[in-house]
Amino acid sequence: SHFGNICVCCKERVKFVMTSVLEMQQDAALNSFIRAVDSAEEIAEGRRRRLAESLEFFPLEVFMALQSPASASKSFLSARDLHTWLSQQHHYTCAFTVEDVAASMQQAADICGDMSYEGFLRMVLPSQANDEWLRDAVLSRGRFSSRARSDYSSQFPVEVSVRLVNVLDHAIDSGRELQAHRRQLVELGVPAHVVSDFFAEATSAMPRAQREALWYRSNLARFHWSQYWPLLSPRVCI
């Protein structure tokens, strides 16, 4: 009937409008996620640079001092280790859990959630190409300075402690924010491979170091999709 045809047309139109609205919401959520990743990484890079600029910061000594005896025996750093240290910092009063710390470590941790020394360096040292000299200076600092022999097991220098807290605090906050974005993408039905396709296209023109930093921050590099490996250096795909 004519009425029936009208109903069919209305249903198709509503379906088209709903699909269009959903696609717009998905596109907006993807763009919002990319912007959040970029903003989080920019802030993190500034805080990592500030930590690296401290002449009292010796990364290996700090890494070892943060380890519990159990972690030290296996040469890694756990979320509980970092949670314990942060909980002891009187100038850090934000509420956080071991799970929050674990989430903040994901981009630098292995599949078990533990962080090697190399992962720790990735988390605390600047990643941009123009800061390569600073990374090299930090890594060689402990080898040529008598201050590297100072006892970090009891207490870090105040400057190092404050700047390390700033790095970890941002990692926790941005981890929560990005997780909220990921939940929104899931709720909108955006498949993981679409997120990666979108991210790969959005970052394809960037310098490699910047692209890799954003991939780490987004946590997409953990999925190991081979079609994206040419965009990254081998160390990202390990």
Instruction: Identify the pLDDT of residue 213.
Output: 81
CA distance 107 to 203: 18
Query: What is the crossing angle of helices 208-218 and 158-187, to 10°?
Result: 70
Q: Percent of the chain at pLDDT above 90? A: 42
Tell me the pLDDT band of 195, cut-offs 50, 70 and 90: confident
Tell me the pLDDT band of 198, cut-offs 50, 70 and 90: confident
Instruction: Identify the pLDDT of residue 65.
Output: 92
Measured CA to CA in angstroms, residue 213 lies from 45, 81, 143 at distances of 9, 24, 27
User: What are the CB-based long-range contacts (under 8 Å, 24+) for 16-22?
Assistant: 22/188, 22/189
Residue with tokens 């962080």: 115
DSSP 175-238: HHHHHHHHHHHHHTT--HHHHHHHHHHHHTTS-HHHHHHHHHHHTGGGG--GGGGGGS-GGGG-
Tell me the pLDDT band of 121, cut-offs 50, 70 and 90: very high
Instruction: Identify the pLDDT of residue 235.
Output: 44
Look at residue 60 and tell me whether its pLDDT is greater than 80.
Answer: yes
